[in-house]
Amino acid sequence: MPLGENHGDKNDSRYCGIETEFNDDMPFVLSHNLNGGFDFVVAPLMEPNYRPSLIDNASKHSSVLPFAGSDLVLTPTQWSSHVVGKISSWIDLDSEDDVLREDSEIALKQELAWASHLSLQACLLPTPKGKSCGNYARCVNQILQNLNNMQLWLRIPLAKSDDDHPMMTSSDGMVVEVTDSWELWNSFRLLCEHHSQLSVALDIQSSVPSISSIERWYGEPVKAAFVHTECYLTNARGYPCLSKRHQNLLSGFFYYSIQIVLSGKPVHNVPAKSKPSAANQTDTVAQQLPRHDLRPYLDYVGYLYQSMDPLSEQERFELGYRDFLQSPLQPLMDNLEAQTYETFEKDSVKYIQYQRAVSKALMDRIPDDMASTTTAVLMVVGAGRGPLVRASLQAAEETGRKLKVYAVEKNPNAVVTLHSLVKIERWEKIVTIISCDMRCWDAPEKADILVSELLGSFGDNELSPECLDGAQRFLKPDGISIPSSYTSFIQPVTTTKLYNDVKLHKDLVHFETAYVVKLHRLAKLSPSQTVFTFTHPNYSPNKSNQRYKKLRFDIPIETGSTIVHGFAGYFDAVLYKDVHLGIEPTTATPNMFSWFPIFFPLRSPVYVKAGSPIDFHIWRCCGNTKVWYEWCVTSPTESPVHNSNGRSYWVGL
């Protein structure tokens, strides 16, 4: 039974599982827990006392595996939809005991082969026993090379301590020394070559690390979080609850589609007879089900899920685009299609901002006492299907100014729509349509105001500087450009999902391409910094649109070590005076969806030790027929210069 409704997105975090002990009656285990309100079980696949070395030779050569029950006790749908296999916790492939190490490898391969046979969606691997996990990772990597679509969840404690002698308890009860459990995960996944089927299952401890340390994990492939009953406190009514830090942690997991798995035995004496409350009952149907021992804990998780803030209109629109790589538009080389125009035109927030900017410009340009006698000339360069023309005319109407508009558009298909729009709206005496590239047009008169929407996710990446440099000859010496300036921003990120998606292409070109993507599963490692700024009109005699910037990003030491998969880029634009729009996270225009961030990947992820800085270089290069970016990292290690001479990615002039 899903955790309930919260008007949010319906992702995997709606489902809550339970970790069970070994029981050879699998139908009972499943029915008992599903009827108790859980959606799946994390169950051992092998009798815990089984060891390959204890089986006699006759049994070893038997055609029947000594540990396996029948796959027929459940239907294929039940196995695949409701069971996550739990690999035996005694396994230690890095043990100094040769027999234990050999037994561990045999058992691991047997259990995963059986899980694959059952078509399980995932299997839980035990936490590495010590600081070294080389042989364990080698064996898992071997298995991954021939595995079907099953995911392997490596169990890792969510622990980071700044103490000199930090300790943690592993999933099998062993006390081991650890400084930062992320280091253990990073070592394991590096040895497994960042395999896309290797994921993380976090073990939540009673003590929760700092927020900045936790946020690293949002960019990692975390599939599940195990919450032990001993993490729960007791509320005033005697029911289990969680501390504020644990509540915030689970809310973050819900947002990033991380499933919760309850683990352990009941440790609270829940009142036997009392009226259900919102915090201990999720629905009336649940009240009729047999009471599960961990139901009060499950109900509290459901209560937290239902308490989440609903998704905004913008977030609901963006759901289908989350972490989906898209190649940036080529606005000069290609003509946009009707569907693309329609998507952008739905963004009312953007055009409201443009209308505000034009209104302010008209008020400054034409005093009140001249409003009835003076007509301002406004040129929309790159008019598309007319939304900026409409916004400009609405600005003129609300300010009581007279306007003459030139709509300049190079796409002949959009020009057809423009002519139809002018006729429908009866703008024939106000709007003149010019079917021409703005860089080639000879205007019959100068403009008071030049309006454009040529901005890309990185501000200048759709060649707004080149286009407006070519069009500013239309502008009067004291004319106004809207936008008047725009600045790009960039920051280092962890995003395993995007890195693996780029890696799937198995070529250099895709690692040297900048993508437009609605970033979701990522960790922002340091605040964004400014990169390039362009101002219009630009009357500098020696103007050049080539740029170079070196940036140093400091990772807070409390965050811990981390890995950089690439850099996220944004922009902020000043349309006119105090009217701006942009997508830089700290100043982003609310509910505007016309632009997603840009992502510059790294060919090899860069490991950054706690407290070490990242030195990043980026170039904007200009040729006769194209503009392109090059980028690299020089600290803490050197990366190659990406996209040298625009060999993989460029924007055509």
Supply the residues annotated as catalytic: 453, 462
Collapse the DSSP code of 47 into the 3-class scheme (helix H, G, I; strand E, B; otherwise coil) and give the result: coil
Residue type, 492: P
C-alpha Rg value of the chain to the nearest Å? 30
CA angle 522, 525, 527 (to 5 degrees): 115
Q: What is the 3-state secondary structure (H, E, C) of 412-443?
A: HHHHHHHHHHHHHHCCCCCEEEEECCCCCCCC
DSSP conformation letters of 518-562: B--S-EE-S--EEEEEEESS---TT----EEEEEEEEPPGGG--E
Contact 569, 490 (CB under 8 A): yes
Are 482 and 450 contacting, i.e. CB atoms less than 8 angstroms apart?
yes
Element (H, E) at 402: strand 402-409
Q: How many CA atoms lie within 13 A of 406 on its CB side?
A: 23
If you search the block for the tokens 């729960």, which residue do you land on? 232
Rounded Cα distance between 611 and 561, Å, is 8
Residue 26 annotated as lining a ligand binding site: no
On whether 438 is known to bind a ligand per the annotation, the reply is yes
- For residues 241 and 232, give the distance between their C-alpha atoms in angstroms, rounded to a whole number: 5
Phi and psi angles of residue 253, each rounded to the nearest 5 degrees, phi first: -65, -40
According to the annotation, is 409 in a ligand binding site?
A: yes
Listed as own residue / partner, the contacts of 128-133 with beta carbons closer than 8 Å and 24 or more positions apart are 128/94, 128/184, 128/188, 129/92, 129/94, 129/95, 129/170, 129/174, 129/176, 130/94, 130/176, 131/177, 131/184, 132/94, 133/94, 133/184, 133/187, 133/188, 133/191
> Could you identify the residue written with the tokens 């396996």?
68
399-to-104, 357, 365 alpha-carbon distances in Å = 78, 12, 11
Is 341 assigned a ligand-binding role in the annotation? yes
Residue 437 is assigned to a ligand binding site: yes
Residues that constitute the known binding site: 341, 350-351, 409, 437-438
Residues that constitute the known binding site for S-adenosyl-L-methionine: 341, 350-351, 409, 437-438
